[in-house]
Amino acid sequence: MIISFDIGGSAIKGGIARSENDITPLDRYPTPTDDFAAFVGVLRKIIDEAGEKPKRLSFSIAGVVDPDTQRLTCANIPCIHGRNFAADIEAELGIPVLVANDADCFAMAEAGLGAGRGHRIVLGVILGTGVGGGVIANGRLINEAGGFAGEWGHGPIVALRAGHPPVEIPHYACGCGQKGCVDSVGGARGMERLHKTLHDIDLSSREIIDDWLRGEEKATRTIDVYIDLVASPLALTINITGATIVPVAGGLSNVEPLLLELDKAVRERILRKFDRRVVVRSECRVEPGLIGAALLGLRADAE
């Protein structure tokens, strides 16, 4: 038995995993963001709730482990930011620890139990507030040692002209410090930014999508530009990784017509041609972080 954790800025969630078909969520607790001892105390409480000592602890965290130093970047939880998280937690609790990024855990969940089953290479994509991703190859997370592989949302790659007919689009500043990243246009905030640029109107992504679905002209133009901007870097990522399926999670994944348009545009741009959808809605809609962390931990425990 292992215990998996999904660590977020507001809550810590735990689960018991005995096999990939036997993963049981436990209670959730508020995340102590500024007190490491209290943070460890919550982990102890969840472990005690399980009723037996696990062989391993496996974590999904909204952060990135440096593959060289094994130090964690997790800005929204200061008490663990900059730590060698795995070593520090193992020292506190005396149980082997595995840690992975939450997008990587989502990709693992989809590869093992979701839309990616039966595919050798799975590119999991997040289209939420921003953009993220992870890659699974032959059932293994390629970021097992940490790192940024699969993060297609960052890098100065977005086109400066997009849409039909083309319109000039500025390279927006991104939270990573660069300009022109997919993250700056591809998530919900990016869609809102595009709408403001194109029409000088402030609307939420939900309002833009609702207007688009009923055929409103300005929203239709925004979605046309959005799809054009996002499809090309996603197609390039598929070409580079060789992914044959792209499960999508995050708030925008709930808009099936948007995914259909994105899939159509992506398949027109990729080298390998498919007569089926490649970009699809994720299937692990409940606790993908817990599930992915559990699968990673179970695999490690079996090796």
3-30 residue pLDDT tens:
999 999 899 999 999 998 899 999 899 9
C-alpha to C-alpha distance for 102 and 25, rounded to whole angstroms: 17
Structural domains of the chain, count: 2
- Residue 173: DSSP 8-state: B
Together in a domain, 90 and 224: no
Structural domain including 136 reads 118-281
Strand extents, DSSP E, 102-147: 121-127, 131-137, 140-141
Q: What values do phi and psi take at 150, rounded to 5? A: 95, -10
Please report, for the domain that includes residue 28, its CATH number. Answer: 3.30.420.40
Predicted pLDDT of residue 16: 95
* Same domain as 122, residue 264: yes
Q: How confident is the model at residue 168 (pLDDT cuts 50, 70, 90)?
A: very high
13/44 same-domain check:
yes
CA–CA dist 228, 167 (Å, integer): 11
What value does the mean pLDDT take over residues 232-248?
98
pTM: 0.93
146, 290: one domain: no
Tell me, yes or no, whether 125 lies in a domain: yes
Q: Are residues 142 and 126 in the same domain?
A: yes
Q: Are residues 99 and 233 in the same domain?
A: no
**Which residue, 129, 224, 225, is CA-closest to 175?**
129
Average pLDDT of the residues of the chain:
95
Identify whether residues 128 and 45 lie together within a single domain: no
Give the largest Cα separation in the chain, rounded. 62
Residues 16 and 133 in one domain: no
